[in-house]
């Protein structure tokens, strides 16, 4: 998101009272698919006046009942509604703004103001915000908008504990059963997290970090577990404090976190269970710091 001339606290995301200026636009909703008006559709040139008797009969010449389709009629294609894709793009953009701190904890943002910022109506923004409310990122403020939830270090530590309870036993089980060559296939994903950390962009690293963890857990074959773990992981990536009081995880922290992925793969390939247990525990503890 580019910073507008009147953005809130220099973040580039408008608050309720902001008047947004230039901003990146999400592609507009696609139009409906046109209706085929070719021969036999009942909507072409031959469907005008003077042909009422022909239209009332089917192919066999037997009068068709009112509202009844005949074999010669062609189905009318339904329009393709693409609003869901716009909503998804807005949701992704808002999640990125949460990770980077552009949506500041404790601040209230209105759907119309954000909609103007993205160049869309308030509806897809409101729908995306409601999804974030279900995820615990924001809360509804009646007649005002959505407030970004303020979290403390205790909540982050609790998330790290729950993640460890889920992921450590799974990784230990996988370390006993998954062959080394399967673990080696994940090496490019671990290397991608290192490159992402080097950029210093929290949003870029957050996505690559989750991608690596999802790939590891996916080897267990339990889609529900992967989904729950990914949701917890996403929530653990939201900043704790306002921009004036950062959470403390800077560039060096991201690089150290990414380096642990390669070390974890080495331990998994070697079947070193105690090293796996220690590395995963330290990994989650570092994320909670």
**Burial grade of 262 (CB within 10 A; 0-12, 13-18, 19 or more):** middle
* Token digits of residue 219: 């080897």
* Token digits of residue 229: 């773990």
Measured N-to-C along each axis, helices 223-236 and 153-177 cross at an angle, to the nearest 10 degrees, of: 150
Say if pTM beats, i.e. exceeds, 0.75: no
Residue ranges of domains in the chain, CATH in brackets: 8-30+80-148 (1.10.10.10), 153-287 (1.20.120.530)
User: DSSP string spanning 7-62?
Assistant: -GGGSSS--TT----S---PPPPPPPPPPP-STTSSSSGGGSTT-HHHHTB-TTSP
Element (H, E) at 160: helix 153-177
- Tens-level pLDDT at each residue, the chain (289 residues): 434 434 444 445 545 444 344 344 433 344 333 334 344 434 333 344 444 444 444 444 444 444 444 445 455 444 333 455 888 999 999 999 998 888 888 999 999 999 999 899 999 999 999 999 998 899 999 999 999 998 888 888 899 899 989 998 999 999 999 999 999 999 999 999 999 999 988 889 999 999 999 999 999 999 999 999 999 999 888 876 544 444 445 788 889 999 999 999 999 998 888 898 888 878 877 665 4
């Amino acid at each position: 998101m580019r910073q507008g001339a009147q953005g809130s606290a220099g973040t580039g995301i408008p608050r309720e009272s902001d008047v947004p200026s230039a901003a990146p636009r999400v592609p507009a909703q696609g139009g409906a698919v046109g209706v085929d008006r070719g021969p036999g559709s009942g909507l072409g040139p031959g469907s005008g006046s003077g042909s009422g008797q022909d239209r009332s009969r089917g192919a066999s010449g037997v009068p068709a009942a009112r509202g009844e389709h005949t074999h010669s009629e062609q189905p009318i294609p339904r329009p393709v509604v693409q609003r869901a894709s716009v909503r998804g793009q807005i949701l992704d953009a808002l999640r990125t703004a949460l990770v980077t701190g552009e949506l500041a904890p404790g601040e209230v943002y209105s759907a119309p103001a954000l909609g103007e910022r993205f160049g869309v109506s308030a509806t897809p923004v409101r729908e995306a915000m409601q999804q974030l409310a279900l995820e615990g990122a924001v809360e509804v403020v009646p007649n005002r908008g959505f407030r970004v939830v303020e979290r403390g270090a205790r909540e982050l530590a609790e998330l790290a504990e729950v993640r460890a309870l889920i992921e450590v036993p799974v990784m230990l089980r996988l370390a006993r059963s998954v062959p080394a060559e399967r673990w080696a296939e994940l090496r490019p994903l671990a290397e991608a997290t290192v490159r992402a950390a080097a950029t210093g962009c929290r949003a870029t690293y957050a996505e690559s970090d989750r991608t690596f963890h999802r790939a590891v857990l996916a080897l267990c074959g339990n889609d529900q577990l992967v989904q729950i773990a990914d949701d917890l992981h996403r929530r653990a990536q939201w900043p704790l404090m306002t921009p004036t009081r950062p959470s403390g995880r800077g560039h060096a922290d991201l690089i150290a976190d990414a380096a642990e992925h390669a070390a974890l793969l080495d331990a998994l390939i070697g079947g070193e269970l105690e090293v796996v247990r220690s590395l995963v525990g330290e990994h989650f503890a570092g994320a909670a710091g």
